[in-house]
Structure 1
Amino acid sequence: MTTKTERNGTLLARTLGAAQRHRLFTHLLLIGFGFVMLYPLLWMVSSAVKPEELIFRETGLIPGEVTLDNFSEGWGALSHSFGTYFVNSAIVTAGAVVGNLVACSLAAYAFARLEFPLKRLWFAVMLGSIMLPLHAVLVPQYVLFSELDWINTFWPLIIPKFLATDAFFIFLMVQFIRTLPRDLDEAARIDGAGHWRIFSRIIIPLSMPALATTAIFTFIWTWNDFLSQLIFLTNPDMFTVPVALRTFMDSSGNSSWGPMFAMSVLSLGPIFGFFLAGQRYLIRGIATTGLK
């Protein structure tokens, strides 16, 4: 007869075995879903190094023939070097990032720390603007910017960011600032600090995770933005990367797929680099936002 200790040991071994099998199955399932999500990206990278006549003939991810001609052809295929479009995108994206960081942080501080008439109403209006689709304001914006003679300039894509038009980032920062203890503000006021000094010396340094989250998402969304840049930038000299990639496609069926995929791969480089550089702050910002 088996002893009680042996029975407990057998039961424990079976439990551990079932837990390991469940963990293995979970990991395999996640890997499978991850591969499905990454397959379009992997296919694009594979197609970027294939000869153009083999892109749609070979269905596998491993190219039968490797060439880098698509990169050289794509870089100089348009009216300007593709580096020009990278510079244009960098200018627009940098302006949008700086604008959101400055304007949204100031608005968030006002909602989180200041008291003013109809504060709750204006906060509700700000949140309601998140549900307002871009297409509803695109025509009025175009008319306004046309009157200001800003069409075919970068101003329509940059100036609105300095007016705190991205309510999502204001809400994100408000939630983060509310988690900071007000005792720090009171101690600074005792030392004679005003709102600007409290904002710049206390709130901003402690809000780095939320600021990094705002910067990363603004960078990604602005770099990948196509509709707004297509509407306001019609001069090829002002094209950004998404608009320039669109010019590789021809409705007559003569699209340059190889160069387009090659330039698409290059266009992902800044996004991955910026994301990896701020990944640590991004995780902290998302994890600590919305706790209150």
Structure 2
Amino acid sequence: MIAPAPSLVPEDAAGNWVDRYAPGFLRPFLRLARADRPIGSWLLLIPCWWSTALAAAMATRAGTPVDALQLAALLALFAIGSVAMRGAGCTWNDILDRDIDGMVERTRGRPLPSGQVSVTGAFTFLALQGLVGLAVLICLPRFAILVSLSSLGLVAIYPLMKRVIWIPQAVLGLTFSWGALVGFAALLGTLPAAAFLLYAGSVLWVVGYDTIYAHQDREDDAIVGVKSSARLFERNTKPWLVVFYAGAVVLIGAALWAAGAGSIAWGGLGIFTVQLATQVRRLDIDDRELCLALFKSNRDAGLTLFAGLMVDALLA
């Protein structure tokens, strides 16, 4: 299942907890799931938490407050599910992209192209992560299960989109933002207008931050022939980021308005907006390290908004 592990360590993985603490035989699989780089799990989780907090506030204001333990359990389930499904998505992505990854400087050290994990081993690991996701899924209400399952088509096709369309980040946005619907489905048993507005805003946010991320691979993508919004926008990236981020803020604001959110939630959105504007101001598309740092800063931006939504829900 595992070939002798070479010394290659993918991307910015060196020095992380996987290299320091994980048993040697597990490290290639943990890297395959990007456990050494948890930022993706955070970014998948945050829309789930946004929707849960906003739905909890709506339920409380409608006279049916959510039990604190139920709310905490739901947030924890989403956290576990996000880690499992992000890992599964990365594994599926690497199975499909193993030949391309071997030609890109930043990704040639990944477990599959470097020979640390076989394709059979990767499929086995994918199935195990899927079982964890399934265990989380069956803990949710039936409507939330149906809403969650309806995202699987997007999960399956996203890795292929870079071969087809110039903005594969749009499909990533549709996929990574699905949790913005699931929180409402789990707590309210329905999808109100606020859910779709929050989802649309999250999609634009994802397109923006993943465009920043894609600038790390812009030159390699051009050589390999892979499409991306970074290649499409190039020197016009900043104006497009203004469009995406401004649209995200407006749509999320519309979701807050539709949900009857309080002042603390709006304050969280205000800080979120400042953080996005700072990314645009600081961006230098030729500085790979800065692009990575700005991309990662979206975790803190998203958690800031979540904190505002959560406090608003608790005070509702």
- Bigger Cα Rg: 1
TM-score bracket for the superposition, by shorter chain length: under 0.3
Greater length-normalized contact order (CA 8 Å, ≥ 6 residues apart): 1
TM-score scaled to structure 1, two decimals? Answer: 0.27
